[in-house]
């Protein structure tokens, strides 16, 4: 059993690193905490400090969390708790390969549960070949090209017609349905927000609120508001609010 743990926090967002550090401060087994602000810095610190555990942000500019694993080497990586904004495809991959993750925004209780599992993994001597094999399988799965929706069937005048996803300005939640806003037209489709988000290319469509997904190509302006919040103005004139829970990833996409 490792009596004391050195933990590395990897996240390009200062507030996110500060929150994980604060939560780790409540863990009696944690004796040292290092921070990496980028993937490249994480690779260097993993080699130099040899942490017992890494909290690894998935979405980072230039070198992301998966790139860190590739550069360090799956067999040389310490136990990892992945931290992700809301990439459901990645979350499903973590679950398939029995790798732990925290989905932002996470609660103190969820963090404590992840920490407990990580400590049990370390105490049980897990890691090495078995853990490396899981990481390699994860990277292999995530490296496969994915097919995203190019068209969505919508009802117009009693007829089903294909709507190109590129023509969608934004998507709103409406209970068990979603509303596709495409110029002046609105199309009601029976689908959940999570399901449609999983089917759309995350490089083009981003969740900005619990009830809104926006086409990045349709953004005309980003207006800073109070307390770090933003308003998103679309080319159609529609105005959306960036929810706090979705701010980190959105700002990273625009470097704001």
pLDDT digit string, tens, across residues 193-208: 988 988 898 889 999 9
Domain with CATH 2.40.50.1020 in the chain: 151-254
Which architecture does CATH list for 151-254? Answer: Beta Barrel (2.40)
10 Å Cβ neighbour count for 1?
8
The rounded mean pLDDT for the chain is: 87
More confident residue, 31 or 230: 31
- Check: CB of residue 188 under 8 Å from CB of residue 240: no
| Whether the predicted pLDDT of 123 surpasses 90 | no
CATH 1.10.150.530 holds for 5-143: no
| pTM, rounded to two decimals | 0.62
| Whether the predicted pLDDT of 5 surpasses 70 | yes
- Check: CB of residue 218 under 8 Å from CB of residue 170: yes
| Whether the predicted pLDDT of 163 surpasses 80 | yes
Distance CA(214)–CA(75), nearest Å, equals: 39
Domain with CATH 3.40.50.2300 in the chain: 5-143
Categorize the per-residue pLDDT at 113 as very low, low, confident or very high, splitting at 50, 70 and 90.
Answer: very high
């Amino acid at each position: 059993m490792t009596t004391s743990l050195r933990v590395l926090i990897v996240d390009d967002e200062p507030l996110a690193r500060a929150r994980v550090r604060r939560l780790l401060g409540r863990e009696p087994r944690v004796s040292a905490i290092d921070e990496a602000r980028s993937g490249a810095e994480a690779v260097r610190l993993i080699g130099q400090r040899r942490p017992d555990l890494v909290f690894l942000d998935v979405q980072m500019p230039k070198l992301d969390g998966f790139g860190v694993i590739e550069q360090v080497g799956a067999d040389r990586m310490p136990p990892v708790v992945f931290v992700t904004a809301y990439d459901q495809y990645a979350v499903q991959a973590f679950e398939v390969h029995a790798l732990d993750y925290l989905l932002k925004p996470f609660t103190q209780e969820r963090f404590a549960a992840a920490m407990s599992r990580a400590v049990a993994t370390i105490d049980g001597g897990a890691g090495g070949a078995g853990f490396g094999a899981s990481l390699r399988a994860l990277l292999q799965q995530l490296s496969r090209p994915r097919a995203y929706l190019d068209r969505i069937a919508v009802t117009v005048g009693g007829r089903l017609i294909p709507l190109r996803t590129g023509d969608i300005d934004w998507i709103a939640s409406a209970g068990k349905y979603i509303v596709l806003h495409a110029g002046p037209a609105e199309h009601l489709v029976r689908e959940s927000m999570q399901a449609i988000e999983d089917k759309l290319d995350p490089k083009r469509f981003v969740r900005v609120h619990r009830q809104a997904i926006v086409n990045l190509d349709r953004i005309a302006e980003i207006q800073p508001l109070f307390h770090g919040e933003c308003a998103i103005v679309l080319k159609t004139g529609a105005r959306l609010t960036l929810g706090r829970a979705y701010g980190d990833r959105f700002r990273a996409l625009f470097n704001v």
